[in-house]
Amino acid sequence: MKKRIMLVEDDPSHRKLYSSWLKIGGYDPRVIDDERGALDAAATIAPDAIIVDIRLPNVSGLDVIETLKGAPATRAIPVMALTVLQSQHDMDACYAAGADAFVSKPDHIASFLDKVSDLLR
Q: Residue 34 has what pLDDT?
A: 77
pLDDT tens column, 2-47: 999 999 999 999 999 999 999 999 999 999 987 778 888 998 999 9
Whether the Cβ atoms of residue 117 and residue 81 lie closer than 8 Å to each other: no
| Nearest residue to 72 (alpha-carbon basis) of 100, 39, 97 | 39
Residues 20, 116: Cα–Cα separation, whole Å: 14
- Range of weakest confidence among 28-32, 71-75, 78-82, 106-110: 106-110
Domain that holds residue 47: 4-119
Distance from C-alpha of 92 to C-alpha of 39, rounded to nearest angstrom? 23
Residue 58 sits in a domain whose CATH number is 3.40.50.2300
SS3 4: strand
Q: What is the pTM of this model?
A: 0.95
The number of domains in the chain is 1
- Integer Cα distance of 7 and 86 in angstroms: 20
